[in-house]
Amino acid sequence: MINLTLFSDLPEVPRECVKSIEKIGNGSFGDVFRGDAWNLPMVGTKRVSVAIKTLKDENNKENQTKFVKEAILMNNFDHPNIVKLLGVCFQDVPHLLIIELMEGGDLLKFLRSCRPMDTAPSQLSLNEIFSIMIDVGRGCAYLEMNKHVHRDLAARNCLITSRSSSMRVTKIADFGLARHMYINEYYRVKGEDFLPLRWLALESAHEGIFTTKSDVWAYGVLCWETITLGDQPYKDKQNSMVLPFLRSGGRLEKPNECPSELYEIISSCWEENPENRPSFSKLLEMIETLHNNPEMRSNHPFPLTQSGYINNGFDASQDSNISQHYHQHHRNQSNDLTGNNGRFDKSDNIKHSGLPSHLRSRNIPNSSNVFSFDRPDSSISANTEITTISGDNLGFSDDYEIPRNSNNQTLSSIISFYAIIFTMTV
């Protein structure tokens, strides 16, 4: 059992007020369930649908630390474009995190399901695409203001409240890799951590350095995913080819039918020098200003035809993955980057064990400092899915790999955590 003496701010919920209904996936620390909860501090007595994350291996102190860290991290966020922590159950085992559940599921799967088919146009308009990018940008600007680095911004790690455009709000989720940033500090990743290769800024891939400006790079890739309705970045390249391509000055190309003004903003996120990338507050201002252009508020299907996006042979049935940590899937059969063979399990069943951690004593930002964005409140409901992503013929997932330096050595660096100074008893 986790001793919560030093964590009295966490919203503890009685176990009898939480009911699991069905398993919806495997998280980093254990199974994830859809369920109901009531008597939640933030919601009141009414019964609401929730996602329930479990801590499977109660004897693993490192996983306990990470589990509590995620709870503390999410508990300090208060923004309409960031998924909320509603409660924890730490008094009994298995330990639980209770999180709002979004009816629309993950953004990547939603985007792919909206692609035009031979018999039907796209289900999204350019106006809606802008709204998605602005929603995520607002959440990112809030994290930037509070000096938090997400480290895994991607469409698969965002959730939507509804498929209906009138009710849809996009929120940032999956803070398993998130870190708190202070001025003049940076974070490196130690040893065997798997990272989102195709979303990584150059300094993150080469040196393991993560800042808000590396999140800006990833946000640019996320915007590219959105405008292409879920295409895979650098789809024509194996993982081993991505970093050399970026080092040589290569970048994601302008998607067909993407407004040139929008691509100019997105591509500014991929400046090699982090200092030359815009801040999230500046990015948000530029995108919102462009969105005010009547041409960008078109409600016609976007793109108009299958040829309007880069990869018109995409299999829309391919699922995305929104769980927390990323590990190699060992397979006997190789496959190409279309990802039709093999599946990728990001649970701790195949995790490399024994990663060291360094605990730093720092204050957590005051969550009362909230950006006041004029957006409707989202409902807590329904039916999010946690699914899988396929791998390539190198034995890694298409999205996650250990970054290596120019000498092909695994990066030597430090996993920095919150100031989690607590005692645990099993």
User: What residues are annotated to the active site?
Assistant: 152
- Closest residue by Cα to residue 100 from 87, 84, 88: 84
CA dist., res. 21 & res. 43, Å (int): 20
Alpha-carbon radius of gyration of the chain: 20
Query: Beta strands of 165-284 (E only): which ranges?
Result: 170-172, 179-180, 195-196
Contact 271, 280 (CB under 8 A): no
Q: Which helix (H) or strand (E) holds 212?
A: helix 212-227
Question: How many other β-carbons are positioned within 10 Å of the β-carbon of residue 13?
Answer: 22
CA dist., res. 27 & res. 54, Å (int): 8
Sequence-ordered list of residues with C-beta below 8 angstroms from that of 284, at least 6 positions apart, any chain: 134, 137, 138, 140, 141
CA dist., res. 69 & res. 272, Å (int): 32
- Geometric angle at alpha carbon 195, from 192 and 201, rounded to 5°: 130
DSSP state of 82: B
Helix residue ranges, H only, 83-211: 107-113, 126-145, 202-207
Helices 212-227 and 126-145, packing angle to 10 deg: 170
